[in-house]
Amino acid sequence: MLNNITLGQFFPGESFIHRLDPRTKILLTIAFLVCVFISRGFLGFGLIVAFIYMCAKVARIQLKFIFRGLKPIAVIVIITFLLNLFMSAGKDVLWKWGILSISVQGIKNAVFMALRLILLVTGTQLLTLTTSPIRLTDGLESLFLPFSKIGFPAHELAMMMSIALRFIPTLIEETQKITRAQKARGADFESGSLIKRAKALLPLLVPLFVSAFRRADELAMAMEARCYRGGKGRTKMRPLRYGRKDLYALCCVILLAGLILVTNASGIGVI
């Protein structure tokens, strides 16, 4: 029960951002990514940081939840940083060893690229933190619907995604339970060589697959019993509608993009 609400990393709330139409949020997130890429200097990044901070405040999301999402990409950020640091060619070389050298330009590039990655991820975090997975797939389905004319299976993909999302917590819970049950029978998942550990996963994977297939079967049956027959003619309980707040959100992002272009043109802090 508990896990049903913690779907993905969605952080329930009733804020302005939470109540935006999911389509708006998806499109504006894409616009936000473009903003990050067109920004050519640190001043632009400053604006973006301020924007993210403001959104987080409005959505009442603690910053630590936004930073939590950075953990998985930490390695990529570090590698990007180091590559840029050592590999950029620059005039004023500070340090040199073989083919590796550090220049002022290199340091700037490294910081800039690392920041860009961090901003990309923190910005998109806002989307997934404030939009429930169901609303998210609803939004995606509606955005991709025009493409179904050329044979793109928008509804099917959206349904598959919602089902997958719906079952992630269930499967996690199940994995946890089976892990514990096998541990109670003395199974050891944590020690031994790599091969031994891979073998130790078998008592976990077999029951997990068996139960996943069983669930899939039951779900298909339950859906058919309720006359599911694909997306054609299917109506929604909560149809998506654009509202005034979506317009406000759009204005905010346009403002951000405009300001970034101005900072680019002004040349302050540009790399």
User: What does the binding site for other proteins look like in residue numbers (CB under 8 A)?
Assistant: 1-2, 5-6, 11-12, 174, 177-178, 180-188, 202-203, 206-207, 210-211
Of residues 131 and 263, the one with the C-beta less far from other proteins: 131
Residue (of 194, 199, 36, 211) closest to 125 by Cα position = 36
Burial class of residue 62 in the structure, from the number of CB atoms within 10 Å of its CB (0-12 exposed, 13-18 middle, 19+ buried):
exposed
CA angle 265, 269, 271 (to 5 degrees): 85
Whole-angstrom Cα Rg for the chain: 24
Shortest distance, CB of residue 68 to other proteins, whole angstroms? 10
Of residues 126 and 259, the one with the C-beta less far from other proteins: 126
Q: Which two tokens mark 135?
A: 């609303």
Shortest distance, CB of residue 135 to other proteins, whole angstroms? 18
Shortest distance, CB of residue 67 to other proteins, whole angstroms? 14
Shortest distance, CB of residue 131 to other proteins, whole angstroms? 16
Of residues 202 and 216, the one with the C-beta less far from other proteins: 202
User: If DSSP codes are grouped into helix, strand and coil, which group holds residue 186?
Assistant: coil
Of residues 198 and 206, the one with the C-beta less far from other proteins: 206
Phi, psi of 270 (to 5 degrees): -80, 140
